[in-house]
Chain A
Amino acid sequence: MSLGSTPALPRHPSLIAGIVLLSIVLLPASLSVVWTPFPTARLDIVHRLAPISATHPLGTDPFGRDLLSILMIGARNSLSICTAAIALGAAIGVPVGLAAAASPGWRGATLMRAADLGLAFPPLLTASMIVAALGAGRGGTILAIGLFNAPAFARITRVEARSVLQRDYVAAARIAGRGPAAILGVHVLPNIAATLLVQATIALALAILAEAGLSYLGLGTPPPVPSLGRALSEYQTQIFDDPLLVIAPGAAIALLVLGLNQLGDGLRDILDPAVAQRA
């Protein structure tokens, strides 16, 4: 029962909160592409473990590197790796889901079972294998996270695509002679795009956590490129003397994940009101 309408924005606190939180990390991270307060490659032992100051807003690490710069590049690094991973997952999962939706009966079911195999390989295990065989690197991380995400994309795509395929305008298009590829591209994809976007956002949040974990164990980005997870493991021994070194990278990760989670919730509220009723 609507008794007058209110403007859209104040009714979506999740979306706004998400955007704000994300920006706190996203802006410095993007900036780091062209500039950071200090170069992170150079060690500056003289200034090691410096406290917070005007020159070093977050102090320096045991090697004298500026913590803020490390966080900026680390955040950018996490985001680029994870975005690539999610894109990979979608690139694999969405076509599989579409194919499964378009194939009736056991063919579709078999396809989905095959896709579900990805769920048996958490990123940690895949990354473990790749690193043991080939050594650490960005590619391995992207592959490990991407492969684990593909089944979820496949599932959602299949469910949504099936429901779109049953609609009348699709039947009309079929009768008019449209081929299956055209139907999928013109009718199905645009209609499921919103759901996929929500899925991608939430998956990205989990990917950031996964990548941080992998880096913490040394299975992610190798030195000297700064990484939030690896920073946490490197600075863990300093925890008693300089807790900020440990708190800051974790907080950066948390902000990123929290922002993405809120953004995902907010997008879902807007794009899928039936689900939002419950949330």
Chain B
Amino acid sequence: MTTKRIIIAVLASGLCGWGIWQTARGGLARTLDEYAARGRRDNVAAWVQTIAHVTDPKAAADRAVALLPNDAETYSALGDVCQSIADYRQAREAFARAVQLRPRDYYLWLVLGVMRDQNHDQEGALQALRQSVALAPSYAEPHWQLGNLLLRMDQVDQAFSELRQAAIGSPSLWPNVIDLAWGVYRHDAGAVARELRPETDIDHMALALFFVRNNQSAAAVDQFRQCRSIAGPVRNRAQSLLDMLLGAREFTLAYEVWARMKDLPLTSRTEVRDGGFEEAILVGQSGFGWQITPNVSNVTMSFDEGQHQSGKRSLRVDFRGNSSPTSPLLTQVLLVKPLTRYHVSVFALSQEFVSAADPIITLFDASDPKVTVLAQTLPLRSDPKVWREFAVDFTTNAETRAVTISLARQNCGDPCPAFGTLWLDSVSISNLTAASVAN
């Protein structure tokens, strides 16, 4: 009985000792891995380094592999360390061994594929990356790496199929995919759109913004048209698209975007929107409605229901001192036809206005980069309490697609103060050419 107990006790002690030894080896190897591959630098890591007699990450990773020679994690850490010191050959071997030990880990196949590619073994890389994709078909990174490899192997269609999958899994990759397609298809917007086949509204807008940044305004708006809804983040992107189209002087396309954002019907008719100042004006939002320059010193603008020439209110402009005379206070971009004669009319009322520079309405050719002046009204001064009409005719140039109607003061020196009040109402435009043809 006693002998039996002694044998059991010895066996149990041996088993415990073996277990403790294995656990200690495992713990030591893991800590060395963390020091080597993940930069662990605490007291425990320093103590383990001392025990293992290692001084640098590579030596630590090698020691960890020696301690646990059948552990995928230690080989993975060794691969990471070798990669960080640009020893790509040993990194590849380490990852290959890690894959042997843990063949169902997509990440190990992924890094093995990357390392094989780095060692100019494209076929081996292809095999590893395909395995990684098979193990994790919903993850973006394997698709991304496989797509890039296929692209470098000149398998363009397959490459973009994988790259699209990557972008679906991780939308932050979409700009990279667009950029690659743009280069591969040599800046052919139509081919890029056909290859990428964006599905979501966000993807359409990403492509639209890329196109407009690369001077492909028509292709950009074509992507915008394919959006199912202009809401949420799509709306912000649509506003960016609108701003860029206006900056590129693509007014007809910009109007299409603006009209859809505002749920307005598309029209080719030239008109002043809200010429009677009956609707609210959103400051700082570009488009085809009235634009008010914010924070102009000593000038305030408001709607005045007490004074109006038509409708229920007018725009009131109060001048209270020195301000930049030629800075536009109020503008609106109007779509027009080239080589066409137009008539612009505005009603104004002034009260106790005193300045060396009177307010005027100017019409600029918005399509012209030099923004040439097409016409200008007389100074907007009226008899007290009597609305006066100011009218001007102008003819657009051959390239004119839009004009800017602008309220500012006449040019004068600095300082150039102004005091008094001006009301504006009933701004309108009519096509004289069409009228004469009709007559």
**Chain A complexes with chain B:** no
